[in-house]
Amino acid sequence: MSDPAPPTLAERLEQRVAEHSVPPRASCLQQIIAARGMLRSLRDKGYNSAQLAAWLEECGVPVRAGTLRAYLARIDRAERALAAESPETPPSDREILAACRQGFIRDAARSRPPASRASHTHRASGSAQAASPAFAPPMSSLTHNPHRDL
């Protein structure tokens, strides 16, 4: 009589998952979209973004005040745009989330500098040729140390 083989790691993990079913975690943006009506009414009553962000933090939604302000503005824009497309039905949370995410992607694409050949010119080190002022990056007098360029 031999002992049965111990369960494999995969079998033990499957058993653990079956015992502790956890609902899928919603993203911070999804939770803010779901609570947008309450957040909007609190904002209209005079509560500021820092107070709302602190309350959301207490409720398990970690978000900074500036991020919350940006999310609420994006949600409002997405909701208005979706309502303009079909005025007879209010947009669902899922539609608003999709529109917000498309906006994030669109903004990220806009913020990338266009690829230009002027930025890819190679010069030999020690070259006396100076960069044209039109292509030189702007330097603040507060952060630029002229002695470092020597």
What average pLDDT values come out for the chain (150 residues) when binned by 10 residues? Answer: 79 82 78 94 95 94 94 93 89 91 77 59 49 55 61
Q: What's the token pair of residue 21? A: 């079913």
| pTM score of the predicted model | 0.58
Q: DSSP per residue over 9-41, as a string?
A: HHHHHHHHHHHS--PPPPPHHHHHHHTHHHHHH
CA 68 to CA 76: how far, in whole Å? 12
- Kindly list the distances between the CA atom of residue 3 and the CA atoms of 6, 7, 12, 35, in Å, as whole numbers in the listed order: 9, 12, 18, 55
Question: Which pLDDT score, from 0 to 100, does residue 114 have?
Answer: 65
